[in-house]
C-alpha cells in the first residue's frame, strides 16, 4: 500500500509551458484527505516550493534544488553552496554559460544556461570539480555530488519509517532517475522520457498533470 507519493513538478504537475494542472491540485488534496502523504521535489528554489506547499496545501515536507534543501516548518539545507558557486563563476567567466534569475534564491546549487554550444564541455569540467550537472529539460543545474532526488526520497523514507514499496514516485525527465529505485513504485505521465517509461510500473495514457491525476486516482492499486 502506498503511504507517500513523491512528485516532480515541472513537466509532471505542469505542462511544457509550466502551467500547473488545476485538476492535479484537486487530486492531490483528495489523496491527502484519504491519508496519503504527498511531497514535491524539484530543481526549483525554496521560495517557489514554499508557494506550492502553502497554496496547494502539501502535507509532507517539500524539497527544492533537486533535493538539496527541504522546507518543513523551517528550511533545512543539506549541501554547501561553495563548490557550485565557484564552478558557476568559472563557466560564466569563460563565457560558457549565462545566469538564471532564480540564482538569487539558491542555497546549495546554481542554475545556468549553456552558451556557444558548451553543454558537453561544462559536464566534463564539472566532474573534475566533484560536481554533477542535472538538466530537467527546463533548466541546467550545478549540484554537489549526491545532491539529487534520491536524497530526498531517502530522507522521507527514514523520517516516516517507510519501506521502499510504500513509496510512489512520479517524474518525467532524467533528473528523476535517482528516485526511480528498484523497489519503489514508479509511474510517469505520457510525456515522460522513454528511459523513464521503461523503468515505470505504470505509464499514464495522458501527459502532464492530467496524467498524474490518472496515476493518483489509481494509487490504491500500486
Ligand atoms: Ca520534470
- What CATH number is given to the structural domain containing 138? 3.90.1070.10
Torsion of CA 65, 67, 75, 144, to 10 degrees: -70
Contact 48, 54 (CB under 8 A): no
Sheet holding 62-64, edge to edge: 62-64, 69-71, 75-77
Q: What is the CATH number of the domain that holds 195?
A: 3.40.50.1000
Q: C-alpha distances in angstroms, 123 versus 88, 97, 130, 142, 188? A: 12, 12, 11, 9, 26
Do both 159 and 204 map to the same domain? yes
Asked if 2 and 186 touch (Cβ cutoff 8 Å), the reply is no
Does residue 169 sit in the same domain as residue 110? Answer: no
Distance (Å) from CA 207 to ligand 1 centroid: 12
Domain boundary among 125, 144, 163: 144
CB atoms within 10 A of CB 1: 9
C-alpha cell at 206: 495522458
**How far apart (Å, rounded) are the C-alpha atoms in residues 175 and 178?**
7
Same-domain check for residues 71 and 130: no
| pLDDT number for residue 198 | 98
Query: How far apart are the CA of 8 and the centre of ligand 1, in A?
Result: 6
Please report the pLDDT score of residue 138 as a whole number. 86
Assess whether 127 and 17 both reside in one domain. no
Annotated catalytic residue: which of 8, 10, 172, 176?
8
Please give the distance, rounded to the nearest whole angstrom, from the Cα atom of residue 131 to the centre of ligand 1: 21
Closest CA to 108 of 77, 131, 76: 77
**Residue 163 CA to ligand 1 centre (angstroms):** 24
Residues 154 and 62 in one domain: yes
Strands 140-144 and 185-188: unpaired
Residues 196 and 93 in one domain: no
What is the Å distance from ligand 1's center to 18 Cα?
Answer: 10
Statement: the pTM of the whole predicted model exceeds 0.75: yes
Residue 125 belongs to domain spanning: 82-144
Residue that finishes a domain, picked among 126, 144, 162: 144
- 160 and 67 inside one domain: yes
Please indicate whether residue 10 is annotated as part of the active site.
no
Q: Are residues 121 and 60 in the same domain?
A: no
Considering the domain architecture, whether residues 51 and 86 belong to the same structural domain is answered as no
CA of 168 to the centre of ligand 1 (A): 16
DSSP class of residue 19? P
Give pLDDT tens digits along the chain (222 positions): 999 999 999 999 999 999 999 999 999 999 999 999 999 999 999 999 999 999 999 999 999 999 999 999 999 999 999 999 999 999 999 999 999 999 999 999 999 999 999 999 999 999 999 999 999 888 999 999 999 999 999 999 999 999 999 999 999 999 999 999 999 999 999 999 999 999 999 999 999 999 999 999 999 999
133 and 155 assigned to the same domain: no
Cell numbers standing for residue 122: 561544462
- Per the structure, the count of domains in the chain is 2
Looking at the fold, whether 53 and 39 belong to one and the same domain comes out as yes
Same domain, 71 and 16: yes
Last residue of a domain, one of 122, 144, 166: 144
Amino acid at each position: 500500500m502506498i503511504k507517500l507519493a513523491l512528485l516532480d513538478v515541472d513537466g509532471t504537475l505542469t505542462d511544457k509551458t509550466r502551467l500547473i494542472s488545476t485538476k492535479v491540485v484537486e487530486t492531490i488534496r483528495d489523496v491527502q484527505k484519504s491519508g496519503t502523504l504527498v511531497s514535491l521535489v524539484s530543481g526549483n528554489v525554496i521560495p517557489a516550493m514554499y508557494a506550492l506547499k502553502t497554496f496547494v496545501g502539501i502535507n509532507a515536507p517539500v524539497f527544492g534544488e533537486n533535493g538539496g534543501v527541504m522546507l518543513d516548518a523551517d528550511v533545512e539545507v543539506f549541501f554547501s553552496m561553495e563548490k557550485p558557486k565557484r564552478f558557476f563563476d568559472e563557466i560564466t567567466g569563460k563565457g560558457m554559460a549565462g545566469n538564471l534569475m532564480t540564482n538569487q534564491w539558491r542555497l546549495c546549487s546554481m542554475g545556468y544556461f549553456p552558451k556557444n554550444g558548451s553543454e558537453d564541455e561544462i559536464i566534463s569540467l564539472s566532474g573534475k570539480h566533484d560536481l554533477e550537472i542535472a538538466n530537467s529539460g527546463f533548466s541546467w543545474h550545478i549540484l554537489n555530488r549526491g545532491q539529487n532526488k534520491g536524497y530526498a526520497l531517502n530522507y522521507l523514507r527514514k523520517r516516516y519509517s517507510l519501506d521502499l514499496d510504500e513509496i510512489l514516485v512520479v517524474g518525467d525527465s532524467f533528473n528523476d532517475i535517482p528516485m526511480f529505485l528498484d523497489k519503489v513504485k514508479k509511474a510517469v505521465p505520457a510525456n515522460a522520457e522513454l528511459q523513464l517509461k521503461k523503468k515505470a510500473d505504470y505509464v499514464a495514457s495522458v501527459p502532464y498533470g492530467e496524467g498524474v491525476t490518472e496515476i493518483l486516482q489509481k494509487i490504491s492499486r500500486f
